[in-house]
Chains A and B, each alone.
Chain A
Amino acid sequence: MVAVAKTKSRTKLAEQAHFRTLRLPSPFQPRLEALAAQQDWYDWAGYKAPHALWDDELEYFAIRSQAALFDISPMVKYRIEGPDAEAFLNRVTLRNVTKLKPGRVHYTAWCDDEGYVLDDGTLFRFSADRFRLCCQERHLPWLLDSAIGYEVSVVEETQEVAGLALQGPTSFAVLRDAGFKGVEKLKIFDLAEFPHEKGSVTISRTGFTGDLGYELFVPVKQALSLWDRLIEGGKLHGIRPMGYTALNRARIEAGLIVANADFVTGDSAIRTDRLRMPDEIGLGFMIDPAKGHFNGRRAILDARQNKTLKHVLVGLEIEGNIPAEHAIVYHRGKREVGLVSAAIWSPTAKRNIAIASLQRPYGDTVVDDLWVEIYAMRELQYHKLMKRAKVVPRPFIKLDRRTANPPGER
């Protein structure tokens, strides 16, 4: 017991040095540094992460035409295990976890007691009582407090587990040629363990691009060998490591939202009018009133019944080709009704697309006569454009190869 305490305090002292490295290197840092011709880094949850390595546009086209490799290690990860893990997760998250079979992944979200979204993320079910929750923000105190009364353990494992996203039409071929036997059996949202080195890698057919793609998780010790194995396997399939700018384009085309970019998470919102219920950010589909009690259930159902939902998140198609990032949305060109949170010209859809939050009834029952005001800076002058916007369904693109079985080779 004493020996344990000593080692603990010794590592605690050794950890003092962290202040000299403000942005942690990712487990893949040696490979990223070698490729980062742009040296254009940003801060992803305290990690040094690339905006682009070589050329963000070419990196985007790797997602849509070949295979792009993206480091997702900075994503916050919680290991949730125990006989009550399913019941616990069913209580704290929105979707019905009893319907999530071992070997499956689902996209979900979680709320506080007032029904406001704390975060969204993916829940991986490895077995009956072993899960991993991946998300953008940190929730350890909340998860631990919610776990009282359940036989379950919640451990943060962000620093222990490295992750990669491999996305694009040749991503299956890359994995097959890298020697992951049986990976063709993975259907969308399936996961399985595959041998790697002396251990194993978890591969799921998931991603954030709306394309055919996979995500891979390994203990950090095996991170570099996994990277090398994929690059080797991808040699003939045009594999290309990429940064966030390319991924962000792909995710907007896929109509996917990002916490604290498209909505403000409950624990970080200082202004209470920024809080959002799932129905207000397009996550209403996750709610399963039949599954029994879950966090925020009563508030969410009350808001539905009393029609007190104030906002709605929509996809917009905007005339012209100038991206409307952070533009104000108007009704009849006059009344301010919302804000665009993400917007691009979509190279794949050949449309000018946007994700926006509007105040109901605009975007909900009133969808005509919407406009966005774009301020386009060109050579030190704003061009003020008022463009017509149409509410359209998300995703903005639908690629059959994303779900095709068996997965295509190119």
Chain B
Amino acid sequence: MKNWDVIVIGGGHNGLVNACYLQRSGLDVLVLEQKDWVGGAATSRSLTPGFVYSNCSYVCSLFRPEIMRDLELPRFGLQVIPYEGGAVFTQDGDYLANYRDHHAHRREFARFSPRDAEAYERYACDVTRQCRFIQPLLMRTAPDPTSFKPRDIGELIYLGRKFSDMSAEEMALTMRFWTMSISDFLDEYFETDVIKANFALSGIIGTALGPMSPGTAYVLLHHYMGEVDGSVGAWGYARGGMGAVTQALAASFQASGGTIRTGAQVEQVLVKNGHAQGVVLAGGEEVLGKLTVSNADVKRTFLKLVEPKELPDIFLRRVKNFKIRGSSGKVNIALGSMPEFPALPDDSPCYRGDLHFTDSVERMERAYDDWKEGRWSADPFIDMVIPTTLDPTMASPGKHFMSCFVQYAPPKVGGREWTDADRDGFAESVISQIADYSPGFRERIVHMEVRTPREIEAETGLTEGNIFQGELTFDQLLFNRPVPGYAQYRSPVGGLYMCGSSTHPGGGVMGAPGRNAAVEILRDLKRGANHVSAAHDVI
């Protein structure tokens, strides 16, 4: 029986990134994906003729350009197109736009508050400074502060030096960023509700916290750390939907000789003498591997695939306590024609950006109140984009794909499982909000894919449907992600590694966890990692 060099459980983008790097170093790598397609939360599927959806993730920024280049993803079809700003509709029939042009952006804010318009400069500067601090950490394994290995000490010194290079003021700001609520943070810069709401959304996306919960300021940073072709903080569409990222990864992996098996659900990791030997698939087939890497989240991996007796109890307890609460849903809509928003001029570039309806932080917080009560939000927060305004490949001319990311949706409804009726109610809360701003919207709908945390978990294996494989609060970042002492992609089981978003630096279609895990594995195998580029300099 074949004994693979490496088995990767899960063909999400991080599993594929990891597999690509390992295969390229000469190892014989097998990816086992439970679904009939690869991609995990980065997929494009056609569910109705003539339309392709980005089923889960829908916009791209975090994916590291170093990885795109190393793995030759452009050659395998990856293109990322930056999109225009966007707008928040206000309840009085106006809107607040975000424009790419610096001065247009300022003049737009000045319509609401001349003071806030100018305050934006300082805000943008402060956020940029913080991103520059964190960006270089993305592509480095977090140091283990309890270890005395030279490398950990070196990394700790690196961190410490970065910190001590800061002025007292900057250090204070950094600490605030890591601990504050996004609402309090924005209050330090802005006075206008809709302007605060405009920025607050980045602090709550994918997070089971409200804008007034401490820790959400950091979540905002996480969403600003990406780039499109060097334009830091910019977001774009992957041409063909987010599945284009994982399709390119799969093609790159196969071109370098890697093997993917879809429809192969791993039921158990085989452990003998504290060392992983391979996996058992649903149906009983055993697949042997010298090393096993799990792309599934930390809960699925260690609470479902590994027998508890193989794990130290403190580790097990911490995995159980890892916060991975579902908070979001998704409604993908195929439209027979372009929706109209009378508040927005026909020639507004905002149609090619992200659109929102929640015009105050308070409304966001109320939406979160519903989540705490175990209900989907009656007045949900929606991040809505129409990628087909810039991507001609996802629908035929004149027709459109609209992606709605929705908060909040609890993992359970009032303590019980979601039902189909609940799902329809959830969808209705979204459609009716859009229809309030877009007359005739319902008539344009050709098809809809509605995904509550139930559907997201069923389809991607993301526990509770948590989009980041675990919340991005500071207690679950760096050397605490996912579990203190196990933040370097290794696990208590020999030969079993983690490479999903549960690990540092966290979720989003970023690829960094998969890459960093590959570097650690290659280190353990004492193999070179020259084909893994260092992070681009931040100058």
List, in ascending order, chain A residues with CB within 8 A of B115's CB: 140-141, 144
User: How big is the A interface, by class?
Assistant: 20 to 34
Please determine whether A267 and B114 come into contact, CB atoms closer than 8 angstroms.
no
**A13 at the B interface (CB under 8 A):** yes
Given contacts A46-B107, A140-B115, 13 further A-B contacts (CB under 8 A): A9-B94, A13-B93, A16-B94, A18-B104, A43-B103, A45-B103, A138-B106, A140-B118, A267-B121, A267-B122, A269-B125, A270-B125, A270-B128
Known: A16-B94, A20-B347, A22-B101. A156 touches B114 (CB 8 A): yes
List, in ascending order, chain A residues with CB within 8 A of B129's CB: 270, 272
Residues 60 to 101 of chain B near chain A (Cβ within 8 Å): 92-95, 97, 99, 101
**A382 at the B interface (CB under 8 A):** no
List, in ascending order, chain B residues with CB within 8 A of A146's CB: none
How would residues 322 to 341 of chain A score, 1 for a CB under 8 Å from any chain B CB and 0 otherwise? 00000000000000000000
**A184 at the B interface (CB under 8 A):** no
**B432 at the A interface (CB under 8 A):** no
Q: How far is the CA of A140 from the CA of B114 in the complex (A)?
A: 8
In the complex, how many angstroms separate the beta carbon of A44 from the nearest chain B beta carbon?
10
Please determine whether B94 and A19 come into contact, CB atoms closer than 8 angstroms.
no
Known: A267-B125, A270-B129. A141 touches B119 (CB 8 A): yes
Q: How far is the CA of A381 from the CA of B458 in the complex (A)?
A: 62
Please determine whether B104 and A22 come into contact, CB atoms closer than 8 angstroms.
yes
Q: How far is the CA of A13 from the CA of B101 in the complex (A)?
A: 20
Q: Of all chain B residues, which has the CB nearest A275? A: B167
Q: How far is the CA of A50 from the CA of B97 in the complex (A)?
A: 29
Q: How far is the CA of A13 from the CA of B121 in the complex (A)?
A: 24
Q: Which of A16, A23, A140, A267 contacts B345 (CB 8 A)?
A: A16
**B257 at the A interface (CB under 8 A):** no
**B233 at the A interface (CB under 8 A):** no
Please determine whether A46 and B125 come into contact, CB atoms closer than 8 angstroms.
no
How would residues 149 to 184 of chain B score, 1 for a CB under 8 Å from any chain A CB and 0 otherwise? 000000000000000001101100000000000000
Q: Of all chain B residues, which has the CB nearest A272? A: B167
How would residues 341 to 360 of chain B score, 1 for a CB under 8 Å from any chain A CB and 0 otherwise? 00001011100000000000
Please determine whether B128 and A141 come into contact, CB atoms closer than 8 angstroms.
no
Please determine whether A19 and B349 come into contact, CB atoms closer than 8 angstroms.
yes
In the complex, how many angstroms separate the beta carbon of B486 from the nearest chain A beta carbon?
35
Known: A9-B92, A140-B118, A141-B118. A46 touches B132 (CB 8 A): no
Main secondary structure of the interface of B (DSSP, over half): helix
Please determine whether A18 and B107 come into contact, CB atoms closer than 8 angstroms.
yes
Q: Of all chain A residues, which has the CB nearest B168? A: A114
Interface residues of A (CB under 8 A from B): 9, 12-13, 15-20, 22-24, 43, 45-46, 114, 138-141, 144, 156, 267-270, 272
In the complex, how many angstroms separate the beta carbon of B130 from the nearest chain A beta carbon?
10
Q: Which 5 A-B pairs have the closest CB atoms?
A: A46-B103, A141-B119, A140-B118, A138-B118, A15-B111
Known: A19-B97, A272-B170. A138 touches B103 (CB 8 A): no
List, in ascending order, chain B residues with CB within 8 A of A267's CB: 121-122, 125
Known: A9-B92, A46-B106, A156-B114. A17 touches B121 (CB 8 A): no
In the complex, how many angstroms separate the beta carbon of A113 from the nearest chain B beta carbon?
9
List, in ascending order, chain B residues with CB within 8 A of A43's CB: 103
List, in ascending order, chain B residues with CB within 8 A of A268's CB: 121, 125
Q: How far is the CA of A46 from the CA of B108 in the complex (A)?
A: 13
List, in ascending order, chain A residues with CB within 8 A of B104's CB: 18-19, 22
List, in ascending order, chain A residues with CB within 8 A of B167's CB: 114, 272
The interface on chain B, measured as residues whose beta carbon lies within 8 A of the other chain's beta carbons, has a size of: 36
Please determine whether B125 and A114 come into contact, CB atoms closer than 8 angstroms.
no
List, in ascending order, chain A residues with CB within 8 A of B170's CB: 272
Q: How far is the CA of A137 from the CA of B132 in the complex (A)?
A: 24
In the complex, how many angstroms separate the beta carbon of A143 from the nearest chain B beta carbon?
9
Q: Which of B94, B103, B119 contacts A22 (CB 8 A)?
A: B103
Q: How far is the CA of A58 from the CA of B122 in the complex (A)?
A: 40
Q: How far is the CA of A12 from the CA of B129 in the complex (A)?
A: 33
In the complex, how many angstroms separate the beta carbon of B131 from the nearest chain A beta carbon?
10
In the complex, how many angstroms separate the beta carbon of A6 from the nearest chain B beta carbon?
11
Query: Could you list some 19 contacts between A and B, CB below 8 A?
Result: A13-B93, A13-B94, A15-B111, A16-B94, A17-B345, A18-B108, A19-B99, A19-B348, A22-B103, A45-B103, A46-B107, A140-B117, A140-B118, A141-B122, A144-B115, A267-B125, A270-B128, A270-B129, A272-B166
List, in ascending order, chain B residues with CB within 8 A of A12's CB: 94, 111-112
Q: Of all chain A residues, which has the CB nearest B103? A: A46
Please determine whether B101 and A16 come into contact, CB atoms closer than 8 angstroms.
no
Q: How far is the CA of A295 from the CA of B129 in the complex (A)?
A: 23
How would residues 510 to 537 of chain B score, 1 for a CB under 8 Å from any chain A CB and 0 otherwise? 0000000000000000000000000000
Q: How far is the CA of A17 from the CA of B97 in the complex (A)?
A: 11
List, in ascending order, chain A residues with CB within 8 A of B349's CB: 19
List, in ascending order, chain A residues with CB within 8 A of B99's CB: 19
Please determine whether B106 and A270 come into contact, CB atoms closer than 8 angstroms.
no
Q: How far is the CA of A156 from the CA of B116 in the complex (A)?
A: 13
List, in ascending order, chain B residues with CB within 8 A of A16's CB: 94-95, 111, 345
Q: Of all chain A residues, which has the CB nearest B347? A: A20
Q: How far is the CA of A186 from the CA of B128 in the complex (A)?
A: 47
List, in ascending order, chain B residues with CB within 8 A of A45's CB: 103
List, in ascending order, chain A residues with CB within 8 A of B93's CB: 13
Q: How far is the CA of A268 from the CA of B189 in the complex (A)?
A: 15
List, in ascending order, chain B residues with CB within 8 A of A9's CB: 92, 94
Q: How far is the CA of A20 from the CA of B112 in the complex (A)?
A: 18
Q: Which of A24, A138, A270 contacts B132 (CB 8 A)?
A: A270
Q: How far is the CA of A270 from the CA of B130 in the complex (A)?
A: 10
List, in ascending order, chain A residues with CB within 8 A of B116's CB: 141
Q: How far is the CA of A221 from the CA of B170 in the complex (A)?
A: 45
Q: How far is the CA of A268 from the CA of B106 in the complex (A)?
A: 15
In the complex, how many angstroms separate the beta carbon of B20 from the nearest chain A beta carbon?
34
Please determine whether B108 and A138 come into contact, CB atoms closer than 8 angstroms.
no
List, in ascending order, chain A residues with CB within 8 A of B125's CB: 267-270
List, in ascending order, chain A residues with CB within 8 A of B347's CB: 20
List, in ascending order, chain A residues with CB within 8 A of B101's CB: 22
List, in ascending order, chain A residues with CB within 8 A of B107's CB: 15, 18, 46
Q: How far is the CA of A125 from the CA of B347 in the complex (A)?
A: 45
List, in ascending order, chain B residues with CB within 8 A of A141's CB: 115-116, 118-119, 122, 189
In the complex, how many angstroms separate the beta carbon of B359 from the nearest chain A beta carbon?
14
Q: How far is the CA of A272 from the CA of B169 in the complex (A)?
A: 11
Q: Which of A19, A20, A138 contacts B121 (CB 8 A)?
A: A138
In the complex, how many angstroms separate the beta carbon of A43 from the nearest chain B beta carbon?
8
Q: How far is the CA of A17 from the CA of B112 in the complex (A)?
A: 14
List, in ascending order, chain B residues with CB within 8 A of A139's CB: 118
How would residues 193 to 208 of chain B score, 1 for a CB under 8 Å from any chain A CB and 0 otherwise? 0000000000000000
List, in ascending order, chain B residues with CB within 8 A of A22's CB: 101, 103-104
In the complex, how many angstroms separate the beta carbon of A154 from the nearest chain B beta carbon?
10
Q: How far is the CA of A140 from the CA of B111 in the complex (A)?
A: 15
Please determine whether B169 and A114 come into contact, CB atoms closer than 8 angstroms.
yes
Chain B CB within 10 A, most for which of A13, A139, A141: A141
Q: How far is the CA of A13 from the CA of B106 in the complex (A)?
A: 16
Known: A114-B169, A270-B128. A19 touches B108 (CB 8 A): yes
List, in ascending order, chain B residues with CB within 8 A of A269's CB: 125
Q: Of all chain A residues, which has the CB nearest B348? A: A19
In the complex, how many angstroms separate the beta carbon of A15 from the nearest chain B beta carbon?
5
In the complex, how many angstroms separate the beta carbon of A264 from the nearest chain B beta carbon?
11
Q: Of all chain A residues, which has the CB nearest B169? A: A114
List, in ascending order, chain A residues with CB within 8 A of B103's CB: 22-24, 43, 45-46
